[in-house]
Structure 1
Amino acid sequence: MSIPIEQAYLHCPRCGCKQNDPGHIPFRCADCQFAVFFGPVAAVGGLIVNSADQLLLVRRARNPGKGQWGLPGGFVDRGETVEEALEREVYEETRLQLKARDLLVTHPNQYNYQGVVTEVIDLFYVCRAVDPSHVELEAAELDDYAWVHPSAEYLDNMAFPSNRYAIELWMSQLS
Structure 2
Amino acid sequence: MSIPIQQAYLHCPRCGGKHDDPGRVPFRCDRCQFAVFFGPVAAVGGLIVDSENKLLLVRRARNPGKGQWGLPGGFVDSGESVEDALAREVYEETRLRLKRTELLITSPNQYDYQGIVTQVIDLFYVCRAVDPTTVILEPAELDDYAWVNPTADHLDNMAFESNRIAIEHWMG
- If the TM-score is normalised by the length of the shorter chain, which range does it land in? over 0.9
2:19 is aligned with what amino acid? Q
Taking the TM superposition and a 5 Å limit, the aligned residue runs for 1:91-170 are 91-170=91-170
Secondary structure of 2:52's match?
coil
Equivalent-residue separation in structure 2 for 1:104 and 1:63 (angstroms): 26
The Cα shift of 1:145 comes to 0.2
Secondary structure of 1:106's match?
strand
Deviations for 1:122-168, whole angstroms, at most 9, x for unmatched residues?
A: 00000000000010000000000000000011100000000000000
Aligned to 1:42: 42
Aligned to 1:31: 31
Structure 1 alignment gaps of length 5 or more: none
Aligned to 2:86: 86
Equivalent-residue separation in structure 2 for 1:22 and 1:33 (angstroms): 15
Equivalent-residue separation in structure 2 for 1:150 and 1:26 (angstroms): 40
2:140 is aligned with what amino acid? A
- Pairwise CA RMSD: 0.4
Q: TM-score, normalised by structure 1?
A: 0.98
1:105 is aligned with what amino acid? I
Secondary structure of 1:158's match?
coil
Secondary structure of 2:11's match?
coil
Equivalent-residue separation in structure 2 for 1:85 and 1:110 (angstroms): 19
Equivalent-residue separation in structure 1 for 2:103 and 2:140 (angstroms): 28
Deviations for 1:28-85, whole angstroms, at most 9, x for unmatched residues?
A: 0011111001120000000000000000000000000000000000000001100000
Secondary structure of 2:158's match?
coil
1:134 is aligned with what amino acid? T
Structure 2 alignment gaps of length 5 or more: none
Aligned to 2:55: 55
Aligned to 1:13: 13
Q: Which contiguous aligned blocks of 4+ residues in structure 1 show a shift greater than 4 angstroms? A: none
1:170 is aligned with what amino acid? W
Equivalent-residue separation in structure 2 for 1:43 and 1:25 (angstroms): 22
2:54 is aligned with what amino acid? Q
The total of aligned residue pairs comes to: 172
